[in-house]
Amino acid sequence: MKAYLISIGDEILIGQTVNTNVAYIAAKLVEHNVFVSKTSVIGDNYDQIMNEFKTAYEECDLVVVTGGLGPTHDDITRKCVVDFFDTELVHDEGVLEDIKSLFTKKGRELTDLNKDQALIPKIATPVKNYFGTAPGIWIEKKKKYFAVFPGVPYEMKEMVNDFLVPKVSDLLSGKMGNKIITNVLTTGIPESVLYEKIGSIDELLNGSKMAFLPNQFGVKLRLTIEEDDEESAKNKLLEIEQKLRGKVGRYIYGKDEDTLESVIAKIMTERGLTLATAESCTGGLVSNFITNISGSSKFFERGVVTYSNAAKVEILSVNEDIIHKHGAVSLEVARQMAEGIKATSCADIGLSTTGIMGPTGATGEKKVGLVYVGLCDENICTAKKFTFGDDRLLNKDRTAQAALEMLRRHLLGISYDE
């Protein structure tokens, strides 16, 4: 089954909205062996929408459209669907009930605008919207499938999981393939160095495919394996993974949906260890990543964001003389911050960050991008220097990632230096 994803909305074309929907839907479809051959973004324009519906419907088996279902005047997707399938709008009592109960739950009054959202194309099945008022639309015609979901990501996601995924699974039941796509996640090593360390790609892959996908958090290695049957594909994957681990294992922190924080959470929870963080330059980003993990309260004791020197001295007992002598951005202060948060929180491990994120803050020999990460447990108290770039938000991301990676390697006894 081949899919074509269409996103409708001027807001994407003029760059006001990042189109996260496509990635979400594509990932879900791929998991269920539906491959997206193309995606496009077009404006809230009747002719352009009708043309794109036509192209997509001709080229693919499944068309998934997002956007333009809202209650206001600028949303025209539903009208286009009606015209494209040459049908009409009819009132759906079930949808109206859903909308009413949503309003009751939120304690708000129903408007006429919202009532109109209970009108759906006659040949369509409405798709329940748990978080909003616009129902999704599902149309099956001549073995072709046409889905329309709201552009609001959390509304769309719920419909994809609750409706589209089971639907697609049903349609494809018994047709599951022997293709595996999986990501091996690395961090702390540049793409070209990783490439060289891996050595002969052909020998490693023996017919399978691998792509290098770098971003600020590291390099993803996407493996695509296709064999005669599922068993062989799984064995082949295992073989490649083992070889990869033999060559660059220290940089591999996980697979697919793993994040450094989820990997760390698992290890710390299993071992019954607790963590506390003392952040300066990352401003809470490290603890934010950690607390994104459900259940993090089991091991994450507390965090402090000591942005001012006074806070570093008062909360973390960092030595004032050390700050004056070495500066707040220094190996010594990073170490003392980690030591201080470990001591005051009684957590097993203290993790700290201090650095210059830019664009301002550089002084003499200390340039924007200079970062120190500190780590203390009952045995050691250490810190490490990193040099990142000029972009503030990118530097925060990279510093947080470096701190989490330092913690991961510490937990696993992997030395940081080669």
Question: At how many degrees (to 10) do helices 77-84 and 46-59 cross?
Answer: 50
Residue 173 within binding range of a second copy, rule CB under 8 A? no
Among 215, 364, 379, 417, which residue sits at the site for a second copy (rule: CB under 8 A)? 215
Neighbours of 47 (CB within 10 A): 9
Tokens 């605008």: give the residue: 113
Give 92's contacts (C-beta < 8 A, 6+ positions apart). Answer: 118, 119, 120, 126, 135
Measured in Å, how far apart are the chain's first and last C-alpha atoms? Answer: 46
Among 58, 59, 74, 97, which residue sits at the site for a second copy (rule: CB under 8 A)? 74
The smaller minimum CB distance to a second copy, of residues 30 and 123, is found at 30
Cα torsion 373, 376, 379, 385 to 10°: value is 10
Within 332-351, which residues bind a second copy (CB under 8 A)? 344-345
The smaller minimum CB distance to a second copy, of residues 15 and 413, is found at 15
Among 145, 300, 372, 386, which residue sits at the site for a second copy (rule: CB under 8 A)? 300
**Contact present, 152 and 66 (Cβ < 8 Å):** no
Rounded Cα distance between 17 and 11, Å, is: 6
Residue 353 within binding range of a second copy, rule CB under 8 A? no
3-class secondary-structure state, position 346: coil
Within 306-325, which residues bind a second copy (CB under 8 A)? 306-308, 310-311, 314-315
Within 377-396, which residues bind a second copy (CB under 8 A)? 387, 389, 391-394, 396
Number of residues near a second copy (by CB under 8 A): 109
Rounded Cα distance between 197 and 334, Å, is: 31
Residue 166 within binding range of a second copy, rule CB under 8 A? no
Cα distances (angstroms) measured from residue 410 to each of 29, 56, 415: 37, 50, 7
Residue 370 within binding range of a second copy, rule CB under 8 A? no
Least distance between a second copy and beta carbon 156 (Å): 12
Q: Which two tokens stand for residue 193?
A: 């160095």
Residue 191 within binding range of a second copy, rule CB under 8 A? yes
Beta strands 252-255 and 179-186: pairing type? antiparallel
| Alpha-carbon dihedral sign for residues 229, 230, 235, 236 | positive
* Closest alpha carbon to 64 in 81, 44, 87, 89: 81
Q: Which two tokens stand for residue 166?
A: 């089971």
Residue 101 within binding range of a second copy, rule CB under 8 A? no
3-class secondary-structure state, position 276: strand
Least distance between a second copy and beta carbon 299 (Å): 10
Least distance between a second copy and beta carbon 136 (Å): 16
Give 391's contacts (C-beta < 8 A, 6+ positions apart). Answer: 358
Residue 26 within binding range of a second copy, rule CB under 8 A? yes
Residue 416 within binding range of a second copy, rule CB under 8 A? no
Least distance between a second copy and beta carbon 87 (Å): 26
Pick the stretch among 118-126, 168-176, 355-363, 406-414 that binds a second copy (CB under 8 A). 355-363
Within 240-299, which residues bind a second copy (CB under 8 A)? 277, 279, 282-288, 290-292, 294-297
Residue 200 within binding range of a second copy, rule CB under 8 A? no
The smaller minimum CB distance to a second copy, of residues 124 and 356, is found at 356
Residue 41 within binding range of a second copy, rule CB under 8 A? yes
The smaller minimum CB distance to a second copy, of residues 263 and 356, is found at 356
Least distance between a second copy and beta carbon 304 (Å): 5
The smaller minimum CB distance to a second copy, of residues 24 and 416, is found at 24
Least distance between a second copy and beta carbon 161 (Å): 11
DSSP single-letter state for residue 227: -
Q: 385 pairs with which residues across the strands? A: 372
Among 18, 50, 176, 238, which residue sits at the site for a second copy (rule: CB under 8 A)? 18
Element (H, E) at 289: helix 285-291
The smaller minimum CB distance to a second copy, of residues 41 and 263, is found at 41
